[in-house]
Amino acid sequence: MLTILRPRRLAVAVVAMVGAMCVAVLPAAATQQSPPTKAAAHPAAAGPTTDAATGATTPFAIYEAEAGTPTAGAVVRSLTSAPTTQYSSAALEASGHSYVHLDGTGQSVQWTNTTGRPISFLNVRAGIPDSASGGGTTATLDLYVNGVFRQALNLNSLQSWVYEGNGNYNTSDNQNPADGDPRVFWDESHTFVTGAPIPAGATFSLREDSTNSASFYDIDSVDVENPPAPQGQLANSISITSCGAVADNNPTNGAADSQSVDSRAAIQNCIDQAEQQGKILWIPQGTFYVKGTAGLNAQGITIAGAGLWYSTVYRDVPVPNTTPLAALFDLTSCTVRDFHIDANAVSRSTIGGDGGAMDTTGTDWLADGIWTQHTMSGFWASGTGGTVQNSRLTSVWADGINVNNVSLGADTGNNLTVTDNFVRGTGDDAIAINSVNYNTNSDGSKTSYNPMTNVTVSDNTSIAPWGGKGVGIYGGSGHQVKDNYISDTARYIGLGAGRFGVNGSDLLSATVTGNTVVRSGGNAYSQGQPALHIGNGGDGQNVGTVDRVTVTGNTVTDSLYDGIGFSTSTNTLLQDNTVNSPGRNGISISPPFYPAPTGSATITGNTVTGLDPGTSAFVNNSTGFTATLSDNHWPPPAPEGPYGGTPAAVPGTLQAEDYDTGGQGVAYNVTSVNGNANSYRADGVDLDNTSDTGGGYNLGWTGAGQWFRYTVDVATAGTYTLGLRVAAPAAVTGALHLSDASGTNLTGAVDLPATGDWQTWSTLTTRVTLPAGRQVLTLDQDTGGWNINHLAFAASTDTPSTDLAAGRPTSESSHNDVYPSSNVTDGNQNTYWESANNAFPQWVQVDLGSARSASRVVLQLPAAWGARTQTLTLGGGTDATTFTTLKSSAAYAFDPSTGNTVTLTFPATAQRYYRVTVTANNGWPAAQVSAFHIWAA
């Protein structure tokens, strides 16, 4: 299997646009049918995909535009690094995360027909610009065969281009370009080749000519095939034309033909007759319109067409629409096969005219060979024993295939099968197993449903969902999800096994095996989601049970973020899976925004290759999740080292985001990972874009017990002024401290003032004494509620004449009347601290804010006071509770003839707190100090 590996490091700056093609007038049928091919991986050369081991077997082959040959200045545009915002781009929503951009006359993209058979039918995924006011445009693009013009293809952007700016994030009904942040860049539709089929070995190209009016054309991929002749009317069938249905074969090109006939009543009449007479409902070749807001209802019959290339039922809803829509077909215990469904919907919502294609329930129902486009969902199906197979779903506004236990009033969804289907470009999950526990009714009551059991999702291809997962497993038990190919999710998880929200069923068992997940994961809501995920909380609610999920033999390649992620789940078996070239970590427990406070998994026999620097094969960010590891094949954890390879220089500025490499438990310890600076540090940890001067990132999501290590190179031993650039909405007591490699507290507890907001910055100054040379410092988070941008170390200007205590905060054992301890550092010898009377011992202390080196303390009383002797002890401490004796207890005389001054000298020491304890005073029944000077060593 050939795949294009995701290039890295350079983000796409140009956002491209969208369009769609319409169905041309049908030629005479081809005589040779294309044999089936696997539709899965994207080719590395200019040939189609034919040999993938997983995914659907289809009658067409896919030519990716980026695998073709751009000419005359046409360029390939690719996603070259993981998204740094939560919004979309044309490359992000493209299959292969790449496309070809044409913006000048003569530019083209060309391929060679290497299928070994003729091509008579093309399905093109392409885009052209929106109109200035929204709502789309139309244009043409020319098809050439062997360098000779063959036909003009109609394109439009009427059913694409919605905008998320101005409070519209993750919606799909805003068509106002002024709001900005566009999404839905691609649409696709199909046409027969005019004239002779494109022979094997011939070249074919899409070229912008002077007659093509769009300002640019973006080409994502082309599906090529040689369909069989249309089927004739089946025996024992009633043709809808016999009931008055009228075909209209004018190209729709993104909108209904205003001259078309409404055939809804005629088709429903034929359905009723088929039910009464036990006959098949036949849809002949042509496009038949169902107009208005009503749909079609059928029970217990077969509905068949001449082939999904030939028979179309087109839903035409007046837009803007105010009437909630049921599906085009409401089906109970029916078989449907071999026709195409299309619609004029311009968004997912009611106002955009969107309803589902087929809502299905009952027993032993079958959908086989149905091609659905532009509806809200393809299949919304419940019941027992039903199957969706051999179908195509392209450019669907919401879910492609959603099997559930609620469709059409059912309460059961058991033994359902989804197999050999091709899904591309959905606005929600391409394929979902959706087990609902209950729904809340308008009166507040609840309707409960039976948990789903034994659903099989196998051999499907899910490509480029722009608004959901490739495959989602939401609750129930006994499910088998195997041998599917999933690629290029734009925003979300590629393959997820969990539970949907607060009202979903618990997931009590599932087997996920043999699937291929490529270029998946996404940055919806700036979450950096994994490619494959097991656990609850995948859809915003961290609730419910996910138990006994077996994940074996899957391959995850080029994930945008983590390859495999776990949130809360129990008894998972993760065995013999391969993760290749993940964008972040290979296997991650509790990755960003997917908490796993508890859980358990056996992780054995897995392989991780192609790790980027600074990432890990395995990381467990949870202290409560038990992971049992054995016989895994991946590089050992990287040793701790300075970020970028070079220790930060002291003196100098140390950026908080540049903590050491080595991963969780080595270079850092975090209890949650919520960072959104994934383009800077691949571990996803605790970084935020800063608005502080200089920009870049800050360290955030602080919490007690977390720590980050930094390797530094100190030029000269000594005391340094440490400027902490911090932001805190409210004051934080004991927020942090800095320690050395042995764990010695270098600063004592640092209190942070309120700065007003998370991005309102202030510099707090303290002191730290460091030896010379390379060493590791740890920033310990003792209390959360603050951000830090950088730590600036400057050579201290302290000299023996520096009074370290001047203006510093103080505390005391007690004080009398209006004589608090703050008087001892106010610089005025005539103000003083006096303790409570007759209650020795008493103490007063000065807080220097950090450990600072001193060798002398000077105490004073007011100069005019009479002589007295006080018995004193001097202590020092790095915290406010444990003190070392610096001067033992002794009697010291305060004499007005010497300025009532006492000097205490001691060997130089670095302490944060200096405390004088008084046990006696012969001049007053209390402790007294008017000035407390601490002189630098």
Residue range 405-431, pLDDT digits in tens: 999 999 999 999 999 999 999 999 999
821: three-class secondary structure by DSSP:
helix
* CA–CA gap between residue 292 and residue 340 (Å, rounded): 19
Side-chain-side CA neighbours of residue 59 (13 Å) = 21
* CA–CA gap between residue 710 and residue 733 (Å, rounded): 24
- Per-residue b/e over 702-738, b at no fewer than 16 CB within 10 Å? beeebbbbbbbebeeebbbbbbbbbbbeeebeebbbb
* CA–CA gap between residue 418 and residue 56 (Å, rounded): 11
CB-based contacts of 59, cutoff 8 Å, min separation 6: 33, 34, 35, 36, 37, 225, 227
pLDDT for 28 equals: 31
Residue pair 501/539 in contact (Cβ under 8 Å)? The answer is: yes
Q: How far is CA 427 from CA 20, 41, 134, 205, 489, in A?
A: 16, 21, 19, 29, 10
pLDDT for 538 equals: 58
Looking up tokens 């993104």, which residue turns up? 254
3-state percent breakdown (helix, strand, coil) of the chain, nearest 5: 5, 45, 50
Which ranges of the chain have pLDDT less than 50? 1-34, 40-51
Looking up tokens 């401490």, which residue turns up? 877
- According to DSSP, the residues that pair with 203 across neighbouring strands are 112
Side-chain-side CA neighbours of residue 517 (13 Å) = 41
Retrieve residue 378's tokens: 């393809």
Supply φ then ψ for residue 287, to 5 degrees: -110, 125
pLDDT for 90 equals: 98
Residue 668: which of 617, 631, 730, 614 has the closest Cα?
614
The DSSP element (H or E) to which 354 belongs, if any, is none
pLDDT for 39 equals: 55
Per DSSP, 696 falls in state: S
pTM for this prediction: 0.81
pLDDT for 844 equals: 98
Per DSSP, 407 falls in state: G
Alpha helices in 431-585 (DSSP H): none
Retrieve residue 702's tokens: 């602080």
pLDDT for 380 equals: 98
The DSSP element (H or E) to which 395 belongs, if any, is strand 392-396
* CA–CA gap between residue 885 and residue 892 (Å, rounded): 16
